[in-house]
Structure 1
Amino acid sequence: MEDKWRLVAITAVAPIAWGATYVVTRHLLPPDAPLWGAALRALPAGLLLWAIARRRPRGSWWWRAPVLGLLNFGAFFVLVYLAAQLLPSSIAASIMALAPLALAGIAWPLLSQRPTARWAAGAVLGIAGVLLVVGLGAGAVSPAGVVASVIALLASSLGAILTTRWRDDTPLLATTSWQLIAGGIVLVVAAAIVEGPPPRVDAIGVAAYAGIAVVATALAFVCWFTGLRHLPAGTVGIIGLLNPVTGVVLGIVVGGESLAPLQALGIALVLLSLVVARPRPAREGPLPVARRRDGALRERSAQDDSDT
């Protein structure tokens, strides 16, 4: 059971790091270049992991890596950008909070991971908590924005499940680096077309981009994919709800924002959902016949020694 909780802690590094990027982006990076922001975190992170892994794609990974890079990074970040332009942030965040349902729904047919009642209870608590944290503020809801946000959710969820389904003996650092590089190239092209040249930033901005690339992208996605390899996808989705919670908490600590009572209740519900949906320890069945016989022989030998 301790190993399961260790995996939960490793996986939680990802949404906590992603939640921290909200504060860094708001205070240290230009707000009018989100596509370049995504490109400058994905491509350098991929190159960094590739320099560590020092492996090139082989066989089917020549086409798998671009597909996963498009789903997990390229198309996902572009669609999130479109949704942010068309929807109030609270609505967009609320749609993305359905990630546990999307991951579990796709994992059922592709990974044969059937949702449990314990997971369902945790998912309900977690989603309700996120809705309280981000709120459901008033504002015009664009159907196109909703479609973009839903497709982004499904694309990233499918990419995460396929990353797990297609795993082999290739090191995780290598497969993650290939995805980030492929997605980063797509983002660079999209950013150049939509936003023009890269934004100019000072030394603090360069350090902020570097920190996001190393911690909130390279490290975070290695932890995220590690969790998907060893934990049920639905559980990983619930852990991902720490993302908006981290953003709100850091906004209070760093940005001096206030915490409403309903937000505090929402944070408590998200934390409770992690406990409710926690991985259950594997049940120990009866010992195999060989082990029982071996144990009996040892006991008999010990008894003989004591008699003598």
Structure 2
Amino acid sequence: MSSEAACTEGPAGGVQGRRRAWTAGRAAAAAVPVAFVPIWSSGYIVGTIGAHAGPTLALVAWRFVLAAAVLGVIAVATRAPWPRGRAVYAHLLVSGVLLQTVQLGGVFLGLGHGVPAGLSSLILSACPLVVAAAAVPLFAERLTARQWAGLVVGLLGVLVAVSGRLSGGGELTGYAFTGLALVGLAVGTLYQKRFGHSVDLRTGTTVQLLGAAVTCLPLAAAYGGLDLPMTAAALGSLAWLATVNSIVALLLLFVLLRRSSGGAATSLLYLVPPVTALLAVPILGQDVTAGVAAGMAVSAVGVLLVTVGERRPAG
């Protein structure tokens, strides 16, 4: 009797266990994009606070140094495997410089030369279209007509969300820096997807941050110096940007790139400008317009068109 019961409960328990594991896996997969958007968006909010507290590039450079130190300690403490081979380290350094130094340095230099924050965010939100278009010949990725439509709809949502806040202005040099930031984000994303998929995220990202620190420190020294004021705004911004944005946000992006196509992963960036506007209400005291709300809805539709039902890449 007990043997029969055991035989009956065994397969059922196994099925239930697999169902629970499948449900937990689905929940974890859904949590990544849900967490990614507000965390990535917070960088604009905290960056605005930090930019008013001291030299902007000094803040960027020291965040790389601090982030590399923190993540390096975590990697050692958890005994994460380090990359092997000079070529792997070279690829990591290249992607780190593109995603960190070129992108963030370009953004802050653009803002410093008069480019409005809303327009800067809009320019970088073109990244999903650039990545999706480039990924087709580079990685043989195939997007359906529905997904291409979603990318366009998402970009239109961003236009609606920020159009009321664009004041124009800005120097030509500032727009050149912002365009360079877009190139860094798009090319760095593609480079990471091509060469960074087999490296442990803890140690690989540490190497990338070290490369970003080494290249950004001289730029910061040349543009405003390396001194940060010992104020709560400056130090608090540094701590948040280093740990939350340079570590957590970047790791989430790399997880998304491993789980989906480049266009689908970066399509979430369409939600960043409107979500940033929402976060700015309680933190920076800015208002949310009807255009921002409408843009969020349109962008959400675009992201759903790109990501829902997407097949996970093999490997």
Identity of aligned residues (%): 24
2:90 aligns to what?
Answer: 63
Q: Which whole-Å CA distance do the structure 1 matches of 2:269 and 2:27 have between them? A: 15
- 1:35 Cα deviation (Å)? 0.7
2:212 corresponds, among 153, 167, 183, to 183
Determine the structure 1 residue equivalent to 2:231: 202
Q: CA RMSD for the aligned pairs?
A: 2.5
In the other structure, the counterpart of 1:269 is 298
Q: CA deviation at 1:171?
A: 0.9
How far apart are 1:242 and its partner, in Å? 2.3
Q: Matched residues in 1 for 2:155 and 2:27: separation? A: 21
Alignment pair present for 1:73 and 2:100: yes
Q: Is contact 1:15-1:240 (8 Å) kept?
A: yes
* Residues 1:139 and 2:168 aligned together: yes
Pairs within 5 Å for 1:82-93: 82-84=109-111, 85-93=113-121
- The aligned length equals 283
1:242-262 CA-to-partner distances (Å, cap 9, x unmatched) read 221221001123333222111
Q: Mean alpha-carbon deviation: is it higher for 236-245 or for 131-140? A: 131-140
Q: Tell me which stretches of 4 or more aligned residues in structure 1 moved more than 6 Å.
A: none
- Do the aligned partners of residues 279 and 151 (structure 1) sit closer, same or farther apart at CA in structure 2, a change above 3 Å counting? same
Aligned equivalent of 2:14: none
Q: Does 1:48 align with 2:70?
A: yes
**Once the 2 structures are TM-superposed, how far is the Cα of residue 49 of structure 1 from its aligned partner?**
1.7
1:87-126 matches, cutoff 5 A: 87-126=115-154
Distance of aligned partners of 1:207 and 1:83 in 2 relative to their CA distance in 1, 3 Å threshold: closer
Contact 1:133 1:263 in 2 (8 A): yes
Residues 150 and 303, structure 2, Cα contact 8 Å, conserved in 1: yes
TM-score computed with the length of structure 1 as normaliser: 0.82
The answer to whether the aligner puts 1:239 opposite 2:239 as a matched pair is: no
Q: Distance in 2 between matches of 1:56 and 1:72?
A: 20
Counterpart Cα distance in 2 of 1:168 and 1:124: 27
After TM superposition, the structure 1 stretch with the greater mean CA deviation from structure 2, 137-146 or 172-181, is: 137-146
Q: For 1:244-259, what aligned pairs fall within 5 Å after superposition?
A: 244-259=273-288
Contact 2:96-2:209 at 8 Å conserved across structures? yes
1:62–1:22 Cα change, 3 Å:
closer
Residue 281 to residue 225, structure 1, CA distance change in 2 (3 Å): closer
- Structure 2 gaps of 5+ residues are 1-21
Partner of 2:4: none
Q: Equivalent residue for 1:291? A: none
Q: Which residue of 2 aligns with 1:306?
A: none
Q: 2:42·2:279 contact (CA, 8 Å) conserved in 1?
A: yes
